[in-house]
Amino acid sequence: MANIDENLEADLKALDMSLALHDNRDWARDNVSNEDADEITIYSYDNGCTFYSYKLPKTKLVDINWIMNKWNKSTDSTYQSFTENFRSVLDAKGYKNSINVYPTTYGIGIFVMMAARDSVTQIHKDVISVLDEHNIDYKTTTSDAGWVFQFRISKSQENIEKLKLIC
């Protein structure tokens, strides 16, 4: 059972936003109650329509502060320009249009599901070498399915400045 603030819908409306509750056991169901909801989708109508879904906590109050904290993390563009520059670094290493690099809230993701098995290891090594060469503070993980290399890049001011210098 989700603990949703009774003023949440009105608070979101004041920000030109709305919400939809979901029950992942029955996604087709409309009008999910707070008791059955395990996920919330927030819609923003500022500049078109943008939306993000979040798993609901079991006990924590879901109020406008909780939503805005999640929303700000979802819309954080710290790594957007870095990703664009990083693509050109990978292009120079011979990966032009062959791998998908995209910004995330934690750094960058590199989608490797469609890459040839022998090139996956080389892609990983090449990305690490670029980050190490520029003394970027990062950690690397892989998505649960193993389709994405996740480079969790520190958001320290010093690290962000280093990211800007790549390219």
Q: What is the per-residue pLDDT across 37-79, written as a single tens digit (0 to 9) for each?
A: 889 999 998 777 888 889 999 889 999 999 999 988 888 777 7
- Indicate the domain borders of the chain: 3-74, 80-165
The amino acid sitting at 102 is Y
In whole angstroms, give the CA distance from residue 10 to residue 28.
25
Tokens linked to 34: 């707070």
Q: Are 152 and 138 in contact, with CB atoms under 8 Å apart? A: yes
Answer yes or no: is pLDDT of 117 > 80: no
Quick check: pTM over 0.85? no
Tell me the average pLDDT across 143-148. 80
Q: Hey, which of 76-80, 85-89, 155-159 has the most confident mean pLDDT?
A: 155-159
Tell me the average pLDDT across 2-8. 90
Tell me the average pLDDT across 123-141. 90
Side by side, the strands of the sheet bearing 17-22 are: 17-22, 39-44, 50-55
Answer yes or no: is pLDDT of 10 > 80: yes
In whole angstroms, give the CA distance from residue 40 to residue 43.
10
Confidence of residue 7 (pLDDT cuts 50, 70, 90): very high
Task: Give the model's pLDDT for residue 12.
Answer: 93
Answer yes or no: is pLDDT of 88 > 70: yes
Confidence of residue 167 (pLDDT cuts 50, 70, 90): low
Neighbour-count burial of 28, counting CB atoms closer than 10 A to its CB (0-12 exposed, 13-18 middle, 19+ buried): exposed
Backbone angles phi, psi at 23, to 5 degrees: -115, 110
